[in-house]
Structure 1
Amino acid sequence: MDQRPRLSDVAARVGVSPASVSLVLRGAPGPSSETRERVLAAAAELGYRADRTASLLARRRRHLLGVLLDVRNPFHAELAEEIHIEADRAGYEVVLSTLTRDRDEPRALETLLDFRCEALILLGPDAADDDLGRLAAQVPCVVVGRMARGVDVDVVRPADDVGVDAALAHLIGLGHTRIAFVDGGRGAVAAARRRGYRRAMRRAGLPAEVQPGDHTEQGGVRVGRDLAARGDLPTAIVASNDRLAVGLMDAFVRTGIDVPGRVSVVGYDDSTLAHLAHIDLTSVNQDAPAQARQAVRAAVSRLDEGRTRPSEIVLVPHLVVRGSTAPPPD
């Protein structure tokens, strides 16, 4: 027979209702400071410990983590796979909700909320910080890949300035002095990488040259065609992500511009695209497994351990050098 003290035993000792004891033990508002002290003292005297299994059943825990991702982004696919692995280890299931050509962030987030996910892991969201804060008021949120300031969300991100610095240091070390940057558009991740490029070029005493783009292969193709048509090519280009870099390389191949003989190209993400032998892209690696581990741990610590203060984990990326970069042409 189970002789462990129960919530009702603590309540009887103090002379309050079991509901009041529950509020105190969960740290919820309501009971006075005097009642809190008496309840905690009685719980300690009786050796009361919460029955976690009963608590989970009473709360009808779903153990679902919702993940927002862009289905067209190969790096997001890698992150999602790693999140599944880590979530499974923690005893959670994963629900994916994707961005597509005609499915935006608000709609994708609605789906996750409709599934009553206990926490959300958002991969590179474009939502403003205030919008993220409003979402976090409904459900714990972990933002992966970008900053979020002044709101109650957890953040796991790479040090993008370090990643861009590594790409530029590699190209400058090869002898390049005219290095352009293909922008990733209006998103928060793209903005961080653009700022990192401008800062690094200033430090190196080199002129910045930002080519407007977006985060897609098609955006890279457009920039590549435009540069080829003008005939005024930089000797090296850093792209805001691998998708842009692959689009650039495709445009250059089709117009007879040799990579890396005429133009060196560096991507960012070190996605599966970069590893393909016919692409062989030098790219900044963000350590997808580590980002996934930290994101799941942040969500689980909110849900299982009751952590309430937001956290930020910043991981240091590194450059993986492949065949798309070489010294500038003579």
Structure 2
Amino acid sequence: MSKRPSGRVTLVDIAKEANCSVSLVSIVMRGAPGASEQTRARVKAVADRLGYRPDQRARSLRRARSGLIGVTFNVLQPFHADLVEGLYEAVTATDYELVLGAVVAQTDDIAAAEPLLRDRCEALIMLGPTAPPARLAALAAEVPVVMVARPSRIQGIDVVRVDDRGGLRLVVEHLTSLGHERIVLVDGGKAPGVEERIAGYREAMTAAGLEEHIRVIGGGLDEEDGRRAAVEILELDERPTAIAAFNDRCASGVVNHLLTRGVYVPRDMSVVGFDDSRQATRCIVPLTTVAQDTVLMARTALERAIGRATNRYLPTEQVLVPRLVVRNSTSAQHR
């Protein structure tokens, strides 16, 4: 058993002792929904043992405006960097400021959000969060949450995303217009939006009469995931003539490996990405890709966050229309 903290006991002390997040402790102490009865009993027992007493002055401060909007983002994702840039551009027209929480290997979305809560952010914008729905719901019970680039039906959470199904339909329609039939999809592993993009791919292939050529290869979010997928693709008995990748980083990994094996893009295989991030133009072969309008997405997310923070909006889902950007990585099938 840990010894009792010296000085005033805080929610952080309780969270450490109860082995849970600060946001979950806050939910329990406020009696808000989002925690099981077993968790409530455990947290309250720890609070009683440590001698916790609510700080009424802190509660009064939390009720006051801070003028801060928190943003969690993955430092390894170029698409997130584009969104953060768009948020900073949009926030200049408001009287709010942004506070960033980085998601890295050692810090997940919820952990990245906790310092933002301690800074009294009035709302959170979470870019492509991968946390389980229950943990996101618990967070949303404490502060208004706007999720960007992740489909979700979690009650009480705003969603701003692109039409992922429609994006993959654009990809397949573009490739079939160039004469491709054997089109493989490299998915995003466990990333948000995977199911929607797979569904869009399957629907478009079926609509084109290409059901027999439907094939989904396991992939992921980065170049190494793309490389591994390309290795598997090159070992197929019947190679595809075109590859749709989950995002631009994955597509770049595919392109790089194909070139090292003497498979030229787009002469031998066409490759398409998704996001139209800065990675798309930096790839050794500039990528044809599906553009998500990061400026509009960021502006919409910020508007929703401020509206939720000031009790002007109820949670909704905003679905934006994707756009295909054609560059050098696709061409007509060479027979």
Q: TM-score, normalising length from structure 1?
A: 0.79
2:234 alignment partner in structure 1: 228
The aligned amino acid for 1:218 is E
Displacement, 1:266?
0.4
Displacement, 1:97?
1.2
Q: Label 1:267 to 1:58 Cα distance change in 2 as closer, same or farther (>3 A).
A: closer
Task: Check the 8 A contact 2:265/2:285 in 1, yes or no.
Answer: no
**Quick one: which of 271, 276, 285 aligns to 2:282?**
276
Structure 1 stretches lacking a partner, 5+ long: 1-55
What SS does structure 2 have at the residue aligned with 1:146?
coil
Distance 1:155 1:201 in 2: 28
2:317 alignment partner in structure 1: 312
Task: Check the 8 A contact 2:108/2:131 in 1, yes or no.
Answer: no
Displacement, 1:200?
1.8
**Quick one: which of 115, 122, 127 aligns to 1:123?**
127
Distance 1:286 1:162 in 2: 11
What SS does structure 1 have at the residue aligned with 2:93?
helix
Displacement, 1:136?
0.9
2:186 alignment partner in structure 1: 182
Equivalences for 1:185-264 in 2 at 5 Å?
A: 185-206=189-210, 207-230=213-236, 232-264=238-270
Equivalences for 1:150-189 in 2 at 5 Å?
A: 150-189=154-193
Displacement, 1:229?
4.3
Displacement, 1:308?
4.8
Q: Label 1:102 to 1:279 Cα distance change in 2 as closer, same or farther (>3 A).
A: farther
Task: Check the 8 A contact 2:62/2:120 in 1, yes or no.
Answer: no
Deviates more, 1:126-135 or 1:250-259: 126-135
Distance 1:58 1:284 in 2: 41
The aligned amino acid for 1:321 is V
Distance 2:242 2:333 in 1: 8
1:145 equivalent in alignment to 2:149 = yes
1:112 equivalent in alignment to 2:106 = no
1:100 equivalent in alignment to 2:104 = yes
**Quick one: which of 92, 95, 116 aligns to 1:91?**
95
Task: Check the 8 A contact 1:144/1:157 in 2, yes or no.
Answer: yes
Q: Label 1:179 to 1:58 Cα distance change in 2 as closer, same or farther (>3 A).
A: closer
Q: Label 1:219 to 1:57 Cα distance change in 2 as closer, same or farther (>3 A).
A: closer
Task: List structure 1 segments (4+ residues) > 6 angstroms apart after TM superposition.
Answer: none
Task: Check the 8 A contact 1:301/1:307 in 2, yes or no.
Answer: yes
Task: Check the 8 A contact 1:264/1:324 in 2, yes or no.
Answer: yes
Distance 1:111 1:59 in 2: 17
C-alpha RMSD of the superposition: 1.9
Task: Check the 8 A contact 1:184/1:191 in 2, yes or no.
Answer: no
The aligned amino acid for 2:294 is A
Displacement, 1:127?
2.5
Task: Check the 8 A contact 2:110/2:135 in 1, yes or no.
Answer: no
Distance 2:284 2:191 in 1: 29
Distance 1:205 1:220 in 2: 27
Distance 2:194 2:117 in 1: 27
Larger Rg: 1
1:324 alignment partner in structure 2: 329
**Percent of residue pairs bearing the same amino acid type:** 43
Q: Label 1:168 to 1:244 Cα distance change in 2 as closer, same or farther (>3 A).
A: same
2:77 alignment partner in structure 1: 73
What SS does structure 2 have at the residue aligned with 1:90?
coil
Displacement, 1:114?
2.6
Displacement, 1:307?
2.4
Structure 2 stretches lacking a partner, 5+ long: 1-59
Distance 1:128 1:313 in 2: 21
